[in-house]
Chain A
Amino acid sequence: MESEPGSSDKPSNGMDDFETLISTTDVELLRRAWRNEKAAPEILRFETNLIDRVTGQLQLMEETVDDFVESSIDPLTVSLYQMDLDRTQFLLRSYLRIRLQKIEKFMFHILKTNELHDRLSKQEKNFTRRYSEVIGKHLEESVLLNLPDNYQSLIRQSTTSEEDDMVPEPQMDTFVVCKAREYVGPSELQDSNKSLASDLLMEMEPGELFFIPFKRIKKLLENGKVDLV
């Protein structure tokens, strides 16, 4: 849907220093968070501090642009600032939108899994609660209440079901493309299910690209050792 704004700056060895330098800015961090969120099948931890900082900076930038307009500085300069502002704002909005989409899709799964629910921001928790009420009411009124007693559950097909078999869950073994930020040894890449004989021993060098099931790099992603692309 959205094109990748940063796809033009291809990393090369000579640019490593530059990359680490610019990766310290909040916009770059936001872009990383946005990219990870976009590529990950499950919802990731909300970047509370980062989003707070970015929102603050956006306000500052807006004021700066307004000041520029008032003091009639070169329109080109203003428009460059404006473009920068627009892009950051797009990143922020898109980041929040992607998260809302995931919440809408996996809401009941998130609600019953504390680990996932804790990853949401305060506002997202409110959204989840309200939305689950709305859609729950909608489905109950139109379908569930018209069914026989034993079949009225929203999350189970019937009372005889042994588990919640009506709750969509994210596909954790879906393949993602990721890039290592630092060296990752074979032990860190082990599948949790170690009995798998087919589990290849592999290691990651910084900057290398991998096409790998999401669940195997989930921990690494959370520790910031890899980025999704």
Chain B
Amino acid sequence: MYGRKASQLVKELSSSEKGQLKPFNDDLFNQVIKECSSHHVGLQALFRNMQEEGLDIQTTRNADFYGALIHHLSLTRNKRCLMAYMYNRADVIRSLRWKLGRVLPNELVMKLSNSEKEFSKGYSATLDAYMNEMNLDLTVDMVPPKDPYIQVRVLDDIGEVLLTDRSANLARYSMHFLKRTDAEQYICQVCCSLKLLIFPGLINSSNQSVALILLTGFNGGTLELTNGVNPVHAFLMGIRRLPS
């Protein structure tokens, strides 16, 4: 049936969890593209028929015209579905840049099409360029600050680091009382070797910091669950389930 495959693509989008990315459906995507081409061939054949019969395409309303119209409408519908599929995936990819930083983990990159990989890089570069021009890192400070200091537990050996007010030795499993702005950069560096765990009690479970911290667990293999499940948690659990 015309348009069914395209709607399957869109259904795949809507059935996946919010903020989650499924592997790019190459096969179905190409089938829809092929369907578009065959619609176009059908459309042109019908128009040729009409021209051979000497009918004016603009005004004639016969069987051929309505056949062509069906082809045209199916084609535009397919186009809308394809665009929706790509556009909404691009949305998720953009949000990943904000949540995970410049480098995406391999598990996620594997789910992207080639063009999407390019897009991800391009978007990241665009955002970087903007933040450079503004001289301000926008990816930190995603939630309104409550307390300038937070308590953190280090999940991986980081070693001696220079903080804004002093230097600290962030050894594995040690606990520190750091400036929030200092700690944030380590919490966000999900893909690097640094892992911090913020004590859940200090942070509202519905905010994103918790999410970022949970994420750190998925690379280090020491996922420590906090109380309160929210969509972001669900998203993170999804990542954990990925085949590595």
Contact = CB atoms under 8 A, between A and B. Distances in A.
Interface stretch (A91-99, A111-119, A175-183, A197-205): A91-99
Contacts of A157: 76, 79-80
B90 A138 contact: yes
A22 interface: no
Nearest to B121: A134
A89 interface: yes
Interface string B76-95: 10011011001100100010
B243 interface: no
Nearest to A83: B148
Interface residues of B, number: 43
A227 B36 CA distance: 49
B163 to A, nearest CB: 11
B199 interface: no
A51 B37 CA distance: 51
B144 A147 contact: no
Interface string B205-227: 00000000000000000000000
A57 interface: no
B126 A86 contact: no
Interface stretch (A36-44, A125-133, A186-194): A125-133
Interface residues of A, number: 43
A26 interface: no
Interface of B: 33, 36-37, 40, 72, 75-76, 79-80, 82-83, 86-87, 90, 94, 113, 115-116, 118-119, 122-123, 125-127, 129-130, 133-134, 136, 138, 140-141, 143-145, 147-149, 165, 179-181
